[in-house]
Amino acid sequence: MSISTYTMPLGPVHVALEEPVYFHLTVEGEDIKNVELTSGHVHRGMERMAMQRTLVKNVTLTERVCSLCSNSHSFTYSMVVENALNLAIPERAKYLRVMAEEIKRVASHLFNTAIQAHIAGFKSLFMHVMEVREVVQDIKETVYGNRMNLASNCIGGVKCDVTNELLDYIMKQLEVLEPQTDELYDIFQTNHIMLTRTKGLGLLPTEDALALGVVGPVARGSGIARDVRRDSPYAAYPDLEFDVITEPGCCVHSRTMVRLREIKESIKLIRQCCDKMPEGPVCVHMGKIPVNEAFAHSEAPRGEVSYYIRTNGTDIPSRLKWRVPSYMNWKALSVMMKGAQIAEVALVLNSIDPCVSCTER
């Protein structure tokens, strides 16, 4: 280390980080020369815990892996157990699952966008985005009774049916949400400060993105049309129409734009769910548990989340393993941080929408 460089700790507790992760920055003036990353502060031993609980209890456990994509975990976990049990779930349950998933996606993307404004020091925009997000929070609270963990999935379907009255309510809230999302899109597309701070920052060229195998909005922000919902459709997605959003910019700004445009697609999906929702039961019985292994994956707000399960004939799984999107996107940070400044570390980090709790579980 030369005299002009010094180390600066960022984290584990830092204003710009929602979750604990420790950056060891070697800094020269404002420029970053080297980034070392230490994590493991929120390891909770969840895979081990999952192997000590019954299949049914694990729905609750997996929902608590992460807060913002909680529904994706219980959703994918239910799917993997259903695959192991060779269980076919009712049509209505498929639509209800997709609906819950997309509502969570809207809330998650809006949250990430708000945090970006917060990190860029734009408090009013942060408040504005959070206020828009409140519309989605109201949907969650009214329909599912909770503002974060929806607790809607169970093995064999969903726990509670959503009545027609509530579907009307969701449609009404979407009418409110859509113009506000358009407004947000315009703000992020045109605001001088947000553009100067995020455009061209944290570059992840398409070749690097492919080589690193990034997923979710990070991949789509680098122009790779990669989306599990379309590439290997599950639940009700084969019957629904939506576009896979890509942006060619490869920078922080294009990732934000991907998220904001995906909100529009999610609104479209929720509307289709409300319209096409078939009548019928919402849940089926589990039946006998065979000795089997299975795999399932889905598109969480942050990208592909995949689950693997091995059952041994009892109601306790002998192995449950999952891989979360942040694990794949994490490595791309070393490419994005190249040549960044101190002021940009938090913005670049936020652009992959890191979920530390998911990754360390």
Partner 1 sequence: MDTLLGILHMCIFPGGIFALVIGFFFKGLDRRVEARLQRRVGPPLIQPWLDTAKLLTKETLIPKTACTQAFLLAPVVGFAGMAVCAAFIPVPGVFDGLSNMGDLLVLFYLLPIPAIAMMMGGSASSSPFGAVGFSREMIIMLAYETPLLMILLSVAMLVGKSMSGGDWGAEFSLLKIVEWQQVNGSLGYNPVMIPAFIAYLIFLPGTMGVAPFDIPEAETEVVEGPLLEYGGPLLALFHVGSALKTFVVLGLGVAMFFPGTIGDFWLVNLIWFVVKCLVLMLISLTVVKSATGRYRIDQAFRFFILVPTMLALCSLLLVWLI
Residues numbered 335-354 forming contacts with partner 1, rule: CB under 8 A: 341-346
Q: How far is the CB of 244 from partner 1 (least distance, A)?
A: 30
- DSSP secondary structure string for all residues of 260-279: HHHHHHHHHHHHHHHHH---
Task: Quote the CA–CA distance of 221 and 183 in Å, as a whole number.
Answer: 21
- Tell me the C-alpha to C-alpha distance, in Å, between residue 289 and each of 61, 159, 228, 293, 318: 20, 20, 28, 11, 12
Which residue is listed with tokens 């009548």?
279
Q: How far is the CB of 170 from partner 1 (least distance, A)?
A: 24
| Nearest CA-CA partner of 122 in 354, 347, 352 | 347
Interface size with partner 1, residues (CB under 8 A): 33
The angle at the Cα of 296, spanning 151 to 209, to the nearest 5 degrees, equals 105
Verify binding: residue 38, partner 1, rule CB under 8 A: no
Q: How far is the CB of 116 from partner 1 (least distance, A)?
A: 10
Q: How far is the CB of 16 from partner 1 (least distance, A)?
A: 4
Verify binding: residue 197, partner 1, rule CB under 8 A: yes
* Among residues 119, 170, 184, 333, the one that binds partner 1 under rule CB under 8 A: 119
Other CB atoms within a 10 A radius of the CB of residue 216 amount to 27
What is the 8-class DSSP label of residue 153? E
Verify binding: residue 52, partner 1, rule CB under 8 A: no
* Among residues 94, 109, 118, 297, the one that binds partner 1 under rule CB under 8 A: 118
Q: How far is the CB of 174 from partner 1 (least distance, A)?
A: 22
Hey, which bits of 29-89 come out as E strands?
A: 31-38
| Nearest CA-CA partner of 101 in 76, 133, 65, 134 | 76
Other CB atoms within a 10 A radius of the CB of residue 26 amount to 15
* Among residues 32, 59, 66, 117, the one that binds partner 1 under rule CB under 8 A: 117
* Among residues 60, 163, 189, 196, the one that binds partner 1 under rule CB under 8 A: 196
* Among residues 75, 111, 122, 322, the one that binds partner 1 under rule CB under 8 A: 122
Which structure tokens are listed for 200? 């061209």
Q: How far is the CB of 122 from partner 1 (least distance, A)?
A: 3
* Among residues 127, 176, 225, 291, the one that binds partner 1 under rule CB under 8 A: 127
| Nearest CA-CA partner of 95 in 282, 277, 223, 249 | 277
Verify binding: residue 128, partner 1, rule CB under 8 A: yes
| Alpha-carbon dihedral angle through residues 187, 261, 361, 306, given to the nearest 10 degrees | -170
Verify binding: residue 164, partner 1, rule CB under 8 A: no
The residue type found at 131 is E
> Smaller CB distance to partner 1: residue 16 or 87?
16
What is the 8-class DSSP label of residue 341? B
Q: How far is the CB of 326 from partner 1 (least distance, A)?
A: 20
> Smaller CB distance to partner 1: residue 263 or 345?
345
Residues engaged in binding partner 1 (CB under 8 A): 6-9, 14-16, 27, 29-30, 117-125, 127-128, 131, 191, 193-194, 196-197, 341-346
